[in-house]
Amino acid sequence: MKISRIKIKNLFGIKEYEAGGENVELTGKNGVGKSSVIDAIRLALENKSDRDYIVRSGETEGEILIETDTGLSIDRKIRTQSSDYKSVKQNGNVIKSPEAFLAGIFTKLQLQPIEFMNMSKKDQNRIILDMIEYEWDLNTIKEWFGEIPQDVNYQQNILAVLNDIQAENGYYFQTRQDINRDIREKRAVVEDIKNSLPIGYDGAEWEDADLGDLYMEIEKRRKNNEMIEKAQTMLAGHDAKIRGLDADKEIRLATLDRQESEARTRYNSEISSLKEQINALMEKLASIDSRKADRVRVIESEYQAGVAKIESEIESYAEYRDREKLPVDDLLSQARNIEKMKGHVNEWRRMQRVEKEAEELKEKSDLLTKKIEKARSLPGEILETATIPIEGLSVQNGVPLINGLPVSNLSEGEKLDLCIDVAIQNRSGLQIVLIDGIEKLATPMREHMYQKCKEKGVQFIATRTTDDNDLIITEL
């Protein structure tokens, strides 16, 4: 859609102006009314002006009429003493919600395309990315990532959104970094525990090892060995004890002999001196033998009893006496080893737990890596299917590149081309750019700009301050 007729009356510094659908350059010295033409067209499209006084001084009504080659007509009358008039029609039919309709047929940049050059890189990139048309909503994001990733501004273009998702300061990257740090720490803990455990230690082997049976066997052997020792000691003491008893017997018999002989002597002497008592003493003498025999029997029987006691004691150990002692040391060191190994089980369990935690974190980290990689590969896929509005446009890390270069690297001429490309986004809207003050560009640049517009089939109205006294309208 192009403008086919412009009629201005009493707006800003213009008394009257009329033009057709040509590409024109308005030239003339300061104040001849060049910007007034541009501002009047803006007023028609935007229903507002940066200038406070719209109607030309001394007049009560100003008018701007624009017609397009598609049958659209915009007629505004601005009045100082009564309310304004507006008529927006398509082929003579009144358009409902005219301001919203008009807002949809042009972009702000069309009314000042060179402004794009002065924008911040961020705004320039955003504007270019926004031109890439790709149908998406939050469900698309959910399908891609299984969730809506946090800390992302979803009001941006999809490529900028994907860039935020994969960014190094983004949630996924940061979370993965935290998780990877945790994994490293846990693996270090596992390594420490492993180093503190015996080489090749497997806690599962020792966890259920049973010491009860082993200790029972050790106790049994100990008892058995004690009995053997006692039996042997006892056997060793047997002869000595019998010898003791023999000696005792000898001593007692010798003592008895001595006593008997002393008595005999004493009695004999007493017999001789105590004749009267001889009979009595003879009786006593006669009983000595039997008394001696009694005592001998007692001694003999006590001796026998002693021997029998020792013999019976020995008998009770008889079964152990000749047995071979069983070794205990081996079992003991075995038990000590098991206890030592059991002592490691808790650490080993902790090691296994930490190892498992590290594995689980690794899975999380891998999932995040997948999501980050997904966010990194999607722009390529999107650009493959999306309509690319600018020739040579690609996107890297969420940054648009023109023929492989960011906007900041483009030459002035390339940037001007880009201004026109981004200004005209809606190919079914108004195909016109208004360039007020094109004298800011050097002649070759200016010509380059006009050429670009012509190549793209974009109508242009440009103003340039020159030394001419009157407003000159040149068709280009």
Ligand X SMILES: Nc1ncnc2c1ncn2[C@@H]1O[C@H](COP(=O)(O)OP(=O)(O)OP(=O)(O)O)[C@@H](O)[C@H]1O
Q: Is 13 or 237 the residue whose CB approaches ligand X more closely?
A: 13
Q: Does position 36 bind Mg ion by CB under 5 A?
A: no
User: Which helix (H) or strand (E) covers residue 360, if one does?
Assistant: helix 329-385
| Strand 72-79 to 393-396 pairing | unpaired
Q: Which residues contact 474 (CB under 8 A, 6 or more apart)?
A: 24, 25, 26, 27
Among 2, 5, 13, 49, binds ligand X (CB under 6 A): 13
Report the nearest approach of ligand X to the CB of residue 30 (Å).
3
Radius of gyration of the chain from its Cα atoms, rounded to whole angstroms: 61
The string over 274-313, giving b where at least 16 C-beta atoms fall within 10 Å of a residue's C-beta and e elsewhere, is eeeeeeebeeeeeeeeeeeeeeeeeeeeebeebeeebeeb
User: What is the DSSP code string of 141-204?
Assistant: HHHHHSS--SS--TTS-HHHHHHHHH-TTSHHHHHHHHHHHHHHHHHHHHHHHHHHSPTT--HH
Q: Does position 35 bind Mg ion by CB under 5 A?
A: yes
Scanning 49-57, 334-342, 366-374, 410-418 for contacts with ligand X by CB under 6 A, the matching segment is: 49-57
Q: Is 82 or 91 the residue whose CB approaches ligand X more closely?
A: 82
Report the nearest approach of Mg ion to the CB of residue 24 (Å).
15
Closest CA to 397 of 127, 169, 162: 162
Burial (CB count <10 Å: 0-12, 13-18, 19+), residue 391 = exposed
Out of ligand X, Mg ion, none, what residue 13 binds, judged by CB under 5 to 8 A for its kind, is: ligand X
Q: Is 35 or 124 the residue whose CB approaches Mg ion more closely?
A: 35
| Strand 85-90 to 399-402 pairing | unpaired
Among 32, 78, 179, 368, binds ligand X (CB under 6 A): 32
Q: Is 13 or 406 the residue whose CB approaches ligand X more closely?
A: 13
> No. of H helices and E strands in the chain?
13, 12
Report the nearest approach of Mg ion to the CB of residue 15 (Å).
17
Which residue's beta carbon is nearest to the bound Mg ion?
35
Q: Is 186 or 464 the residue whose CB approaches Mg ion more closely?
A: 464
Out of ligand X, Mg ion, none, what residue 56 binds, judged by CB under 5 to 8 A for its kind, is: ligand X
Among 24, 25, 33, 453, binds ligand X (CB under 6 A): 33
CB atoms within 10 A of CB 207: 14
Out of ligand X, Mg ion, none, what residue 9 binds, judged by CB under 5 to 8 A for its kind, is: none
Per-residue contact track with ligand X, 56 to 85, x per CB under 6 A?
Answer: xx----------------------------
Scanning 52-60, 161-169, 224-232, 411-419 for contacts with ligand X by CB under 6 A, the matching segment is: 52-60
Report the interhelical angle of 412-423 vs 443-456 (nearest 10°).
Answer: 40
Give the binding site for Mg ion (CB under 5 A).
35
Interface residue list for ligand X (CB under 6 A): 12-13, 30-36, 53, 56-57, 465
